[in-house]
Amino acid sequence: MSCVISCISICLDGTIPGYHLHRGFGTGANSWLIQLEGGGWCNNLRSCIYRKKTHRGSSTLFEKQIPFTGLLSNKAEDNPDFFNWNRVKIRYCDGASFAGDSENKAAGLHFRGQRIWRAAIEDLMSKGMHNANQALLSGCSAGGLASILHCDEFRSLFPGSTKVKCLSDAGLFMDAADVSGGRTMRSFFGGVVSLQGVKENLPSTCTNHLDPTSCFFPQNLIAGIKTPLFILNAAYDSWQVQESLAPSTADPQGTWHDCKLNNERCSASQIEFLQDFRNRMLSAVRGFSASRQNGLFLNSCFAHCQSERQDTWFADDSPVINNKPVALAVGDWFFDRATVKAIDCAYPCDRTCHNLVFK
């Protein structure tokens, strides 16, 4: 079933994004799984004007079919704990991880991420989600950041008797130095926050002591999230390696070109740099993981978005930590069957990874 929201929630070009809803059945009829679509961000007028002419900024260019695989699969053998839930995919039209709320009339740009989020959630509540006995807010990449930003707000929609938790997949974007010593990601996020009017929609638990750009980085947010949160991330996140750690602007000679495309082509010194990035990620989640209510699955893979792909979510050869794949780790955590604090040993010890190789 596909539903379109008829309200002021709009993409960069003014079109309406909507969402896709697959109804639950059996014991999952009153359980709701919301997955916030990812897709990066635009951070200046030029990139946003270009983006509104793509499927990342216009609903008229959306893919017609969305694969309901991994966490959204309706097959018990592929998704043992959530297959019969109401499963919703909220489409992404930039909007700064569903947190932007401004516009640029001269450029014809609408940054309405926050309104898209609210409109979609309000519409889903009217369609039965208000009766949920359990709910999980999830997202991958930019959607993974969004699931952190909106986690406590999502919790507040339901009575205390409803089990509500959040899952961030590949959303732990780090405020780390790139290979030139610069701060590519901080500069990029600064543009997103400023251009799209994100400040007012950031958690006050962060903005009352840090600047808005810092509060767009999950490492500065997760300690303040009151709702149970699960962080699923690759320690050598392939997107961050390419776009944050070793972008072409920081590597004009192309020294990192081959390494970015295939981890097996990385030199010893490059691996050492990436090990330092992993150590910083481990440090960022140390306090977060100390809370019993939170969950963690941090594997030593070169990957990005492991809950959406069936091969990395739950398959015969899925990545595992301590012989447990992602799907079972998330299920154990959500249903309180076990405490999940899974941290992998450093690369290259994990032979179960599905490392991404780019051409």
- Active-site entry in 237, 289, 300, 344: 237
Non-local (6+) Cβ contacts of 171 within 8 A are: 139, 140, 141, 142, 143, 144, 145, 146, 147, 148, 218, 231, 233
The two most distant CA atoms of the chain are separated, in Å, by 58
- Active-site entry in 58, 304, 307, 354: 304
H helix runs in 157-267, sequence order: 184-195, 204-207, 238-240, 257-261
- Active-site entry in 58, 59, 141, 238: 141
Rounded Cα–Cα distance for residues 255 and 83 (Å): 45
For 142, the 3-state DSSP assignment is: helix
The residue assigned the tokens 């952190």 is: 148
Cβ-in-10-Å burial (0-12, 13-18, 19+) of 23 comes to middle
Q: What is the residue type of 344?
A: D
Cβ-in-10-Å burial (0-12, 13-18, 19+) of 349 comes to exposed
Is 81 a residue of the active site? no
β-pairing verdict for 86-90 and 19-22: antiparallel
Is residue 298 a contact partner of residue 231, using CB atoms and an 8 Å limit?
A: yes
Non-local (6+) Cβ contacts of 162 within 8 A are: 132, 133, 134, 135
Non-local (6+) Cβ contacts of 290 within 8 A are: none
Q: Give me 175's structure tokens.
A: 């405020």
Instruction: Tell me how long the chain is.
Output: 359
Is 141 a residue of the active site? yes
Radius of gyration for the chain, computed over Cα atoms and rounded to the nearest angstrom: 19
Rounded Cα–Cα distance for residues 135 and 129 (Å): 9
- Write out the H or E segment, with its range, that includes residue 115: helix 113-126
Active site residues: 141, 237, 304
